[in-house]
Amino acid sequence: MNERQPARRPGGRSARVGTQVHQAVTDLISERGYGNFTVGDVAAHAGVADSSIYRRWGNLETLLTDVALTRLNAQSPMPDTGSLAGDLRTYAAQVAREITGPDGPAVLHLAFALSSSGQQGQQAGAALRAERTRQLESMLDRARDRGERAPDAFEVLDHILAPMYIRVLFGMVPLTPDYVDGLVDRLL
């Protein structure tokens, strides 16, 4: 007997629910701020049962950590323009677009709030920094392989990413292309 198994759809309901819940968290952070909503609020906003959220994430802190890590680590491939200056300019412009996009400030506020909220939040912050560092190291290693003098990943974090994050977190002057390029110029 040749019994057919139902075909699994890539993405499917689970992916759709995950996307809806992540968007609901981001929307609620934008509307209410960190710490001002519950799993029930997220479920209602996402149009799912709160039991679905508890089953998948366990608690609100784990869900918030997942949202922050997923959104901030959802990177396009690291640029490979053939020069370190080109790679850094392209990467910095890409990050600037991400963090100033519709959900960018909310996700940055979430990541900041989580990193200062207990052991799990600190672990989430460490995981985010480790992933950003890994991404940067791949770009910097390519530059070194080409014979270019490259800074270390922490210098890129300190001189390019941190100033952009601070400006977005505190609603300061927009991240213009000239400003972003200036950060890269000062580092190099």
Residue 8: pLDDT band (50, 70, 90) is: very low
Q: Which residues contact 90 (CB under 8 A, 6 or more apart)?
A: 79, 81
This prediction has a pTM of 0.75
8 Å CB contact between 142 and 83: no
DSSP letters along 125-156, please?
HHHHHHHHHHHHHHHHHHHHHTT-----HHHH
Mean pLDDT of the chain: 86
User: pLDDT tens for residues 101-124?
Assistant: 887 888 788 877 777 777 777 777
